[in-house]
Structure 1
Amino acid sequence: MSSTLSVCLSLVALCALARCHHFPHHPTCQDDQKETNHTEAHVLLSQACAKKGASYADFTFRFYKQAVLAEADKNVFFSPLSIATAFAMLAMGAKSATLTQIFEGMGFRLTEVQEEEIHESFHHHIHMMNCPNNKIQTSMGNALFIGTGFQPRQTFLDDVKTFYEAEFFSTDFQNSKEAEKKINGYVAKKTHGKIPKLVTALDPNTLMVLVNYIYFKAYWENPFNPTLTHEEDFLVDEKTSVKVNMMHRDTDYESHYDEQLSCWLVQIPYSGRAKAIFILPNAGKMKQVEAALSKETLCKWEKLLQKRSINLYVPKFSISGSYDVKLLFEKMGITGVFSDRADLSGITGTSGLHVSKAVHKAMLNVHENGTEAAAATAIVVSKLSRPSITLKLNKPFLVMIVDKATRTTIFMGKIVNPTIK
């Protein structure tokens, strides 16, 4: 049997990256708490509204559209930051066409940006997620579970440690059950029990498993009053409705109605550095909105947001997502790293490695006090007296959790039926 390399994603997750040895600036938590002008490297994962061309934001929406096609009319929830981080880590060991395809698949054009800048950008986000904050609880990290007797190049290990702050664990993959227990126990601990079983059925020929995790817990800047939560119908489709606990709050929110796409956009700030964006299409317009999802559309929405008084209704819900990233990536044209043509010689100095499996799991819990998931940012809205608009999320809607400073999308999902976990 050929040697295999497994790549596992959790709430935020994935792989290894290329041959860089110098990191010019290690940001401090004090840096992140200032209103700083981010360097070009630090904004690579942002929406980059002023910059044309491919971007991480486009990767987010491309992956979302593939996930929707794979699970039509079902809930969708994933962390594009986790998936991109894992594959960026993997890229540290990739060369030639394999390296180019991984990065271009994630929206980075190596003709426009240096590999080192990409790694610096991911390092900056990992650091920001791990800065202590009394308003929001976030953590992000990476780990390599290395098979007994398998010896990656020291330069590869050093780079992964430098840029991705990865932990290393020697693992006996010949004992698959114990290896799974070790990996799943690590992920469960790091995600506070929210991702208890990330990997299953590991091949005894596995040489290494790369894991990325993200944990996110934040409170609304203005919590919903639990005494106002009441049972209402949620319209799953034209023929189906389910009972949900609907939260309610009447206050000022940044919002916009897109007449062309027939949808409402409303932002709810967390207390801290994150915000949630809810997108509610009119009846029968979900596919139209999904087709239009792009960096340009999101940037347009951001420019048109206005504060207005909204009588807002949001359902309480808890959902999860589980994805075969290998399958979805292959549909996106990222195929080389999974085939016998893969060039991962940066890991060992020789050929013969490929990625045999890539999985991703994520969960989201939204309630009156806030949100529990993985990664976040917050926006504070001030009052503006205008006639109140009633906006009720009682039919399928989209949700994004976005970092305020960098406008990086940490999580994205579609809630079709909030009663299905």
Structure 2
Amino acid sequence: MKAILPLCLLVATLHLTVPSLTQTDHHSAESQSTDLQDQHPHEGGALESCQQIVPSNTDFAFRFYRQATTQEPVKNIFFSPVSISSAFALLALGSRATSQAQVLQGLGFNLTNTREEEIHNGFHHLLLLLTHPGSQVQLSMGNTLFMDKHLKPLKTFLKDIRKLYKGEVVSSNFQNSTEAKKEINDHIKNKTHGNINQILKDLDQNTLMVIINYIYFKAYWENPFNVKGTHKDYFHVNAKTSVEVKMMTRDGFYKTYSDRKLSCEVVQIPYKGDVAALFILPNEGKMKQLEDSLTKDTVSKWEKSLERRRIEVYIPKLFISGTYDLKKMFMNLGVTDVFSDRADLSGITGKPDVKVSNAAHKALLKIHENGTEAAAVTGTDFLPHSVPPVVKFNRPFLLLIIDQYTHSIFFMGKIVNPTEK
């Protein structure tokens, strides 16, 4: 019988609230480890290495999205594909044989075209670029392996997860499951600045190892919405149901594109820094057609076709979350061995008798004006006295939050009901 390894891939927190970046945010970003400081964020070699994995990560994001929407067709969806991918890639680092091949193929890699070493190097450089100090986006992202104190991880594994995945290993007393659970929950609470207080509700008696993956992201709109403009309005969940929301509005210049073939409007709203949100509004009754057409080529076409024009945009204030059983979803993607008695995770401890018992991911999204009235006034575009076209996100829409430098999808979601907690 295999010992059990719950893989809790958790915690994407997207937080967009504070009016301005404080000094402490800036300094805490700058005091990150020295290997990040040595790395110039826009180093050509690092970007080249990332490009080995970003297309597969993007494919994975859409495959995962389809799994999520199949399981809950009429619910909000929100997750961090880059976060899930990095945690399973770390698991692949400790896997061997078929277990490893299944994980990497599940993540969208073609192992005849891409060597395992290139995949891990790609993630290493991607994590460096995404979390570089001095960025105007506050992002902390990492992986922690909680291991029973009687298990000894291999030195090579420890060295590799530190170097490649900014991972850490914490020795835990899993014989006392209450104590271990508290330690893991406290660790995540600390890493996500108190945004997620509980990731583990209970621990199996046979648990020997838990992997926690977290991402905490905080960004500020390049042009904040004026708080005075926010008003009550209706969001049409479906033909029969409408809910009251707080609708933000702004009249300004945005990059937009009307995709006639897919019957949708695309609006890019930039954050300060290298990150932008793509809001995609399908015409009535066209959501399914849009979802079926989601590929990296579609998104690439949108990004290339965007043109700056003046619009009046309406977006609901949001606070939603998504929680996913990754074990179930990855098994549907063909990743089965690591969850069974056939698991070979001998790259972690040197022993083959460990398996993954469960895997979870939780992501939060908060969209807010994040500007004071004063800041909103200074951020106003100079506008002529004509009436611009209106784009109103008052029915289900898709959202992609993309790092513009590496073209990585930080977050992906479908907003079906902004009031659903």
Using the size of structure 2 for normalisation, the TM-score is 0.88
Q: Which amino acid aligns with 1:31?
A: H
Cα deviations by residue, 1:115-160 (Å, 9 ceiling, x for unpaired):
2221122222322343223622111122111102011222112211
In angstroms, what is the RMSD of aligned CA positions?
2.2
Query: Does the 8 A contact of 1:12 with 1:81 survive in 2?
Result: no
The gaps in structure 2 that reach 5 residues or longer are 14-34, 372-378
Contact 1:173 1:203 in 2 (8 A): no
Partner of 2:32: none
Q: Is the 8 A contact 1:320 1:363 kept in 2?
A: yes
Provide the C-alpha distance between the structure 2 equivalents of 1:387 and 1:328, rounded to a whole number of angstroms: 47
Distance 1:342 1:296 in 2: 35
Q: Could you tell me which amino acid in structure 2 is paired with residue 96 of structure 1?
A: A
Structure-1 residue corresponding to 2:8:
8
Secondary structure at 1:196 match in 2: coil
Could you say what secondary structure the match of 1:343 adopts?
Answer: coil
* C-alpha distance in structure 2 between counterparts of 1:411 and 1:39, whole Å: 20
1 CA distance for matches of 2:52 and 2:196? 28
- CA distance in structure 2 between the partners assigned to 1:35 and 1:159 by the alignment: 22
Q: How does 1:145-164 map to 2 (within 5 A)?
A: 145-164=146-165
Match of 1:58 in 2: 59
Specify the code of the residue in structure 1 equivalent to 2:81.
P
Counterparts of 1:35 and 1:128, CA distance in 2: 9
The aligned counterpart of 2:414 is 414
Amino acid at match of 1:361: K
Aligned AA (1:41): S
Paired position in structure 2 for 1:396: 396
Is contact 1:44-1:56 (8 Å) kept? no
Alignment of 1:20-419 (within 5 A): 28=37, 31-32=40-41, 34=42, 36=44, 38-47=46-55, 55-133=56-134, 135-369=136-370, 388-419=388-419
- Normalising to structure 1: TM-score of the pair? 0.88
**Displacement after TM superposition at 1:398 (Å):** 0.7
Other structure's SS at 2:169 match: strand
The answer to whether the 8 Å contact 1:27/1:124 transfers is: no
Counterpart of 2:10, as a letter, is S
What code does the residue aligned with 2:396 have? P
Give the whole-Å Cα distance in 1 for the aligned partners of 2:54 and 2:348: 29
Q: Secondary structure at the match of 2:232?
A: strand
Give 1 or 2: higher helix fraction. 2
For structure 1, which segment, 129-138 or 392-401, has the greater mean C-alpha deviation from structure 2 after superposition?
129-138
Higher alpha-carbon deviation: 152-161 or 56-65? 152-161
Sequence identity, in percent? Answer: 51
Structure 2: which amino acid aligns with 1:416? V
Q: Which amino acid aligns with 1:400?
A: L
Partner Cα distance (1:254, 1:37) in 2: 30
Task: Say if 1:235 and 1:395, in contact at 8 Å, map to a contact too.
Answer: yes
Which deviations, in whole Å up to 9, do the C-alpha atoms of 1:233-254 show, x marking residues without a partner? 0000000000000000011111
**More moved, 110-119 vs 235-244:** 110-119
1:259 Cα deviation from its structure 2 partner: 0.8
In 1, are the aligned partners of 2:146 and 2:169 still within 8 Å (CA)?
A: yes
What's the CA shift string for 1:12-55, capped at 9, x where partnerless?
59xxxxxxxxxxxx6646621x47465432223434xxxxxxx2
Equivalent AA in structure 2 for residue 43 of structure 1: Q
Corresponding residue number in structure 2 for 1:17: none
* C-alpha contact (below 8 Å) 1:245/1:316 kept by paired residues: yes
Give the counterpart letter for 1:151 in structure 2. Answer: K
Number of equivalences: 392
Aligned to 2:401, the other structure's residue is in SS state: strand
| C-alpha separation in 2, matches of 1:395 and 1:128 | 35
| Distance (whole Å) between structure 2 residues aligned to residue 389 and residue 133 of structure 1 | 37
The farther-off stretch of 276-285 and 361-370 is 361-370
Aligned to 1:265, the other structure's residue is in SS state strand
Q: Give me the whole-angstrom Cα distance separating, in 2, the residues matched to 1:257 and 1:267.
A: 12
The answer to which of 181-190 and 153-162 deviates more is 153-162
Q: How far 1:2 sits from its partner (Å)? A: 3.1
Structure 1: gaps of 5 or more residues: 14-25, 48-54, 371-379
What code does the residue aligned with 2:239 have? E
1:171-206 deviation digits (Å, cap 9, x = unpaired) = 111111111111011101111112211112211211
